[in-house]
Amino acid sequence: MNSYLMRRIFLIAYCLMSWALAMQAQRPAGQSPSGLPEANPYTTAADLEAGRKLYVGRCGHCHGKNGEGGRGATLNTGRFRYGASDREIFLVIRNGIPNTEMPGAFSTPEAEVWRMVAYVRRLGRQGAPEPATGDPAAGALVYQKNGCASCHSIDGKGGILGPDLSDIGAKRAARHLRESIMEPSADIPLEYRTVEVISVTGKSSIGIHLNEDEYSIHMRDMKGDLRSFMKSELKEIKLPRESLMPDYASLSKDDLENLVGYLVSLRQTRRAE
C-alpha cells in the first residue's frame, strides 16, 4: 500500500472517529435553561420566607428592601421588563442582564433562585408605594429648558458626557431619579466617575474616568474628546466624589415632579433579541 493511500485511509478513519466521539460528547448533561418549568415549583409559605431572606441579602441593596427600587429597577409594580412569567424572572436572576449593572446569580442553587422568584412575584403584587405623579409632557419641557440634553441623550439625541436616558424609567425608581436630580453626587454610576489630572506644568484636565492602569489614565473630557495621560507626566490625579452634573435643587417642586414623571416615562420597548 503506498503512503498516499495509507494517509487518506488514516485521515478518513480519524475524521470518522472524531465525529463519533463528538456526537457522544454532545449529549446534554444536566438541565438546560430550556428545560426549566414555566411555573415556580417553590411557592409555599416557607419558600416565600426563605426567598425574602435571600432577596434582602442579595437584591435589596439595589432594588430596595421592599422592591421599591433605587439604583436597581422597581420590583413592586408588577411590571417586569424582561418577562413576567416565573421562568423568565428565574432566568433574569440566574443570568443577570447583559450591559447593565444586574449581575447573574450563577452559582446560586436552583431552589434558592426559585424562592427568590416567589418573593419577587409577591413584591410585584404590592403596587408601587410611590408612583411618579408628575406630568411627562411638562417634564419634557423642564428637561429642555434646563439644558439636560447638553450632557444626556435620549434616543440618540443629546450629549455624551452623562448617562443615556433613553430607558432610564425602566432602570431607576422615581425616588432614585429625584435624588439624582437634587443631589447628583449621592450615587454616581461607576462608569461616570469624575477624574481630574494635573500635569507637571500645572495644567488641569477634567472629565469622565474611562480607564486606568498603573502607568496611564484615560478620560472623556468636558468637550467629549477622548484623552490619555501617562502618569509619569502628571503631578496629581484627583478622583473627587462629586459628580460633574450640577445639582438642580433650585427646581420648583412642580418642575421637579414633572421632570421625574418624564424620566419615568422613558422606557424603550423590550427588544426581540
Partner 1 sequence: MPERILRIVSLLGVVVLALAPTPMGQSPEPRGLPVTYERLLKATEEPGNWLTYNGDYRSHHYSSLDQITAENVHKLRGKWIYQMHRPKVEATPIVVDGVMYLTRPPSDVIALDAETGRALWTFEYRLAASVYTCCGQVNRGLAILGETLFITTLDAKLLALDARSGRTLWKKDLADPGLNYTATGAPLIIKNKVIAGIAGAEGGIRGFLDAYDAKTGERVWRFWTVPAPGEPGSETWKGDSWKYGGGSTWITGSYDPELNLVYWGTGNPGPDYNGDVRPGDNLYTCSLLALDVDTGKLKWHFQFTPHDTHDWDATQVPVLLDSTVDGRPRKLVVVPSRNGFHYVLDRVTGEFLLAKQYVQQTWAKEIDKKGRPVLNPNQDPTYEGNDLVWPGVDGGNNWMSPSYNPNTKLLYFNAREERRRYFKTDAPEFRPGEAFFGGGGGGGARFRPEESWGRLIAMTPETGEIKWEHRILAPPWAGTLSTAGDLVFSATPSGNFYALDARTGKELWHFNGGDRVFASPITFLSRDKQLVTIPIGDNLIAFGLD
Total length of the chain: 273
Residues 115-154 close enough to bind partner 1 by CB under 8 A: none
Q: Any contact of residue 107 with partner 1 (CB under 8 A)?
A: yes
Q: Any contact of residue 35 with partner 1 (CB under 8 A)?
A: no
Q: Any contact of residue 96 with partner 1 (CB under 8 A)?
A: no
| x/- track of binding to partner 1 for residues 194-223 (CB under 8 A) | ------------------xxxx--------
Specify the long-range contacts of residues 233-237, CB closer than 8 Å, at least 24 apart. Answer: 233/199, 233/200, 234/197, 234/198, 234/199, 234/200, 235/198, 235/199, 235/200, 235/202, 236/197, 236/198, 237/195, 237/196, 237/197, 237/198
Q: Smallest distance from the beta carbon of 18 to partner 1, in angstroms?
A: 8
Quickly tell me which residue has 422606557 as its cell: 267
Plot region of 158 (φ>0 → left; ψ -120 to 50 → alpha; else → beta): left
Q: Smallest distance from the beta carbon of 57 to partner 1, in angstroms?
A: 3
- CB closer to partner 1 out of 63 and 121: 63
What are the residues binding partner 1 (CB under 8 A)? 3, 6, 9-10, 13-14, 16-21, 23-25, 29-30, 50, 53-54, 56-62, 71-72, 103, 107-112, 190, 193, 212-215, 239
